[in-house]
Structure 1
Amino acid sequence: MTTSSAGPDGPACPVPAPRAPVDAAADGPAPLAEPQRRIRALYTERTVTVYQAYSPALGLPAARDGRFPAAWKRERMTWIKPSFLWMMYRCGWGTKADQETVLAVEIERDGFDWALRNACLSHYDAGEHADRAAWQRELKGAPARVQWDPERDLALRALPYRSLQLGLSGEASRRYADEWTVAIRDVTPLAREVHARVRAGETAAAAALLPGERTYPAPEGTPGLRRVS
């Protein structure tokens, strides 16, 4: 499944605030334990940035025009990822076939929240569903799916907590492409630079380049956050 877009013709995307280097603040207070699940994202009062990766044939026109081209299939499910490093894991730093163009898609928070409120978990969870049949009915009618995947570190190793992957189909996919998208940027150069720093062993420098993701205030009813995981 492919993912991500961003463009120069929409409102200017905010410059990402750098993350703190991973080896910084050794003398400071111990960091709070990560919750098992939370949404980590770069966002403003009005927009949130998600990532996808496409072939250059789709990704470059999207970034150039700031919107998805007609060739982008609106009837298919598309998966968006607020976590930059999870996207890097999925696309191999933009080296996998048909995922060579990494896009940052800035979308309206109202649309993102609508998708979360109307989503269903991609898998059955006895803590959230009355039974498997109820989950299947909900899944069939939902325009969005929530999946919680292990967050990744700079070496793309799985971490012991999870980040959001959001699948959009039907109404949600069409609205994402044609209503919610504010801007699309090609962040392939950023992916390559971070990867190069990682390979050179420059971990702190690589971490400082990452988008400034922070806890996103998920709307009430977000699947997977309805109970303590």
Structure 2
Amino acid sequence: MPHSQAVGPTLPSELITNGKDLLRTEEGYASEQQEKTTDELIPLFPDGFKLPESQLWFPNYPTVVSPVLGEITITGGFMEDQGHSAKPTTYAVFSDRPTEVLQLPPSNRNLGVDYVVSDHQIRTPYPGEVIDVAVERGYGNRCYIKFNIAFELDGRKYPVFGAFAHAESYSVEPGQVLHQGESIGVMGSSGGDYPVHVDLRLWIEVDGTRIDLSPNVIEAQLDV
């Protein structure tokens, strides 16, 4: 996908975002948690596989067997800009420019990635703690997780957060500690007239602004 301009480390705080502001940690949290858990992680994908960061259309949906997520078919590329509900200006980090935050114009953008799991089980990509389980307009049944990993940007490490959406149901509750690859619920289509799928968004917060992360850049930094 064509990228827009890169922005510096100081970002506007008025960005309109969906969901909740989940950053409730001290600056030292991220690096401490990453040291604690990184050596226990396994890669999300087989060697050489990169999750698409461009527009996907049927029937060109790649399928991969993830040792963590299960057998998945990716139906929505990271931050693809067509086929979804209208989104305002957003910010993201892509694998072809992993040290830059790119400003993306308003569009019918996918915030994160979409995929279908062959056994319908939603699994967490990284260990962490459930922050909230709620029902949200447009997202249906949604689960927020604070992962025990960090992402480094401009020399600082930030906690990584994630949210799953559209589940049929979740089997976890706030405060529950999760292991990598643990099942947290069943894939569904809640929140609208959607095909059954998993919606996963990963991000950090920088000066009050949410920055979406491609799973590829997280994996590259973890070097698992």
After TM superposition, the score normalised by the length of structure 2 is 0.26
After TM superposition, the score normalised by the length of structure 1 is 0.25
Q: More relative contact order in 1 or in 2 (CA 8 Å, sep 6+)?
A: 1
More strand by share: 2
More helix by share: 1
Larger radius of gyration: 1
